Amino acid sequence: MQAPTPLSFFPALAPGETIYSACARFNRRAGLPNSKISSLRLLGHPKGGSQHELPSGLGHLATVSEGVLTAEERTLRERTVLRSYLPLMSAARRQKVVDACIASGRFATAKAFSGLSCGIAGAHPLRLCSECLLTQQRDHGFGWWLTEHQLPGVWVCAKHRHLLRISSVKRSKRHEWLMAGRCATEVATVDDQLFQRLARLASCSVWLAGHTNLLYDGLVAMVRMRLHEAGCVRTELKASAAEIAAVHASHALPLSQSPLSQLQALGEDRWAYELLRDERASHPLKWSVLLSAAGSVEHDEMSHQYTAAVRRLAQPELFHTSHQTRRSRAPDRLYRALTGPTSVKDAAQKCGMRLSEVQNWLRRDGGLGEHWRATSTDARRREAQATIEACVAANANLHRSQVINSCLSAVRWLEQNDRQLLNLLLPPPQEKYDRQLRLQLE
């Protein structure tokens, strides 16, 4: 098999530029008679002009570009829509997707393994921000497709807060390469309320894509926590079908009725119900929609919430010594509410939970009950210690028996729970008050 011919004039990549965008710029620079010839030289197959989401033939491109692009997972994360999909995959599945992208002519396989070919957001039309394009053309003399703008769920530019323009050119038959700024685009007409929803959705999509790996159970716990804090579900332990339907009707349904055709698959609420119960239904756009339904969309706050959710997940034991089911951890705010001598009812009021929910957490999370008992004991110990110390400080001449009589409740508690501390706090006994005199043996 003949080795690929290096293309010495393959363009250097611009910041955030997609692989497809760089190939489109090469196609224009090379002046070849049609896109199939340039695709064969770039990717080793003739259909590259219609595959802007992710490449098929990245290994061939890495060779002919002489290292400008490398055939590795990091390149796919930085310069394709896989930035949104790879964090949701297992290591084995990620490797299958990477291998399919590196090989030539396996575009359908790569889409199937990654989830790009599923019904929801199966199409990823090329998008650009008009302000970003003007800046690119002014500073560099040309425009390019930014990876962040191609991610599923991103229809608003985070930098300029403008609705993205969508390519209106059909390329499915001719496989043409489209350059940013040199092809027809159109922008949807949306009202202010829908724009705000799309802006929140875009922020959540970018946050998801910024991670190397995301745990399915962690995302489920995070979504439930956000919905519970917003009052959309009664408990974090589960979300009923009726509650999910209500969230869908108030947030996802307006998105599905927007002029953006890629969101129309959100019309039925079944996808949301399945997403929270079956890992096989995981998809970046679905997660972005549920995350944007309630709570802050600031990246630092979302990262903090995800970390807290993962920390509460049931952790497997290093050595399996029993067959007991592992339990997840209760929310931090419930731990704080059940700190010290307090009742379950008071703790429920403090953290905004129903009494039955707190009782459920006490049954599910053994560490919560241990924390409650330990902090209650510590608080009682400190209280008893402070009572005795205050009595002794007020009158240093009191005898041991007088201190005991003055602080009888504190003394009795320490007798049962910390006798050593009690002996340190009370004045030393005097011999003449001993019930039995000591014998002088020397």
With a cut of 60, say whether residue 191 has pLDDT above it: yes
Give the residue, 352 or 134, on which the prediction is more confident.
134
pTM: 0.77
Q: Around 109, how many Cα atoms within 13 Å sit in the side-chain half-sphere? A: 16
With a cut of 50, say whether residue 133 has pLDDT above it: yes
Q: Around 392, how many Cα atoms within 13 Å sit in the side-chain half-sphere? A: 17
* Cα–Cα distance, 8 to 408 (Å, whole number): 91
Q: What confidence score (pLDDT) does residue 119 get?
A: 62
* Cα–Cα distance, 214 to 279 (Å, whole number): 12
pLDDT, the chain, mean? 85
pLDDT digits (tens, 9 = 90+) for 12-60: 999 999 999 999 999 988 887 688 888 899 998 888 888 888 888 999 9
* Cα–Cα distance, 188 to 71 (Å, whole number): 36
With a cut of 90, say whether residue 6 has pLDDT above it: no
Give phi and psi for 32, each to the nearest 5: -75, 155
With a cut of 50, say whether residue 321 has pLDDT above it: no
Q: What confidence score (pLDDT) does residue 318 get?
A: 43
Q: Which residues contact 167 (CB under 8 A, 6 or more apart)?
A: 125, 126, 127, 178, 183, 184, 185
Question: Residues of the chain with pLDDT > 90: what percent?
Answer: 38
Give the residue, 113 or 2, on which the prediction is more confident.
113
pLDDT digits (tens, 9 = 90+) for 67-93: 899 999 999 999 999 999 999 999 999
Closest by CA to 157, choosing from 148, 169, 145, is 148
Q: What is residue 314's DSSP assignment? A: P
Q: Around 257, how many Cα atoms within 13 Å sit in the side-chain half-sphere? A: 10
* Residue 170: band (very low, low, confident or very high) from pLDDT cuts 50, 70, 90: low
Beta bridge partners of 186: 166
Q: Which residues contact 326 (CB under 8 A, 6 or more apart)?
A: 314, 315, 316, 317
* Cα–Cα distance, 401 to 408 (Å, whole number): 10
Span of 130-134, 180-184, 215-219, 346-350 with lowest mean pLDDT: 346-350
Question: With contact defined as beta carbons under 8 Å apart, do 43 and 18 qualify?
Answer: no
Q: What's the mean pLDDT in 206-230?
A: 93
With a cut of 60, say whether residue 127 has pLDDT above it: yes
Q: What's the mean pLDDT in 127-153?
A: 94
Structure-token pair, residue 102:
């590196």
